[in-house]
Amino acid sequence: MKNPYLDLSPEVAAALAAHKPVVALESTIISHGMPYPQNVETALAVEQTIRENGATPATIAIIGGRLKAGLTREEITYLGKKGTAVTKASRRDLPVLVARGEDGATTVTTTMMIAAMAGISVFATGGIGGVHRGAETTMDISADLEELAKTPVMVICAGAKSILDLGLTLEYLETKGVPVIGYGTEELPAFYTRKSGFSVDYRLDSPEELARAFHAAREMGLAGGMLVTNPIPEEYSMDPAVIGAAIDEAVAEAGTLGIHGKATTPFLLAKIKDITGGESLASNIQLVLNNARLAAKTAAALEVLS
């Protein structure tokens, strides 16, 4: 039954009807992850990368109260120019945004939800949210982890954002039964860098292996998604000492200013960009493109099995 609040773009609808590979993309990276015009340029470049690798992109957002799977260039530009004035929409925000006819930029959580509604199984993003530093006191834990436990979508990312407590994030995912796969690595990537010091559950080395694992989970009727962590390309990986110092400084300032909840990640990413002289933004763009390539190839391999 078609969801009455969901609109598929003609390109996405045609691809799904023809059983062609489709890759979901989030929109918070457009509104909150990067400044204009880099946000729009990056979003369009990611879509083009997916097309060049054999799949159809489906950028997801809420516009005028409608859940959108597949945006026009004009809609992407609209979100990019509106920026942080767009609501950063997690699961709890959807009912009110839809009822009021408002706009929302989708996080990992809401992108997974809307992708699943549309019948899209593979989603490429930058990094997932997780357990924030100091969560034993603040209880600041991203809804992304809960969504991975319940929604059957494969999320391909560059690991959890290194502003988080990576060890506790992995423990939380283990408790929820979410498999954490390293693509070509046995170590969890840390977004801006290739290594974190923490191990993943399994290493898989090809899009076909990823597709077979996810297909097996679906065939067994297992609930929840699968997290694939794809290291940033070596040439764009940042010096761990440099990015670590920038993160520590940004986290300390966020604590001093009392920033918490959904405002935390956008503040930290912007602050880290300033501290690193823009180097972190360049790395962010490259890791998203890298994830898009892998997602397109994996979606194509998954379609062969379906």
Determine the pLDDT at residue 249. 85
Among the ranges given (140-144, 171-175, 218-222), the one the predictor scored with the smallest mean pLDDT: 140-144
Pairing between strand 56-63 and 6-8? unpaired
Tell me the residue type at 260. H
Contact 102, 62 (CB under 8 A): yes
Write out pLDDT tens, residues 262-277. 677 778 777 777 777 6
> Regarding beta strands 22-25 and 56-63, do their DSSP bridges make them parallel or antiparallel, or are they unpaired?
parallel
What is the distance between the terminal CA atoms of the chain, rounded to a whole angstrom?
20
Query: Which candidate in 26, 75, 147, 303 is catalytic?
Result: 26
pLDDT band per the 50, 70, 90 thresholds, residue 1: low
pLDDT at 252 over 70: yes
Active site residue 279: no
- Residue 262's pLDDT is what? 67
H helices, E strands: number in the chain: 13, 11
Examine residue 266 and say whether the peptide bond preceding it is cis (omega within 30 degrees of 0): no
Catalytic residue (choose from 68, 88, 161, 262): 161
Q: What is the mean pLDDT of residues 128-150?
A: 87
Active site residue 161: yes
**Domains of the chain listed by start with CATH number:** 6-305 (3.40.1790.10)
pLDDT exceeds 70 at position 67: yes
CA geometry: angle 282, 192, 210, nearest 5 deg = 110
Nearest CA to 122 among 220, 186, 44, 56? 56
pLDDT band, very low/low/confident/very high, at 208 (cuts 50, 70, 90): very high
Mean confidence (pLDDT) of the chain? 92
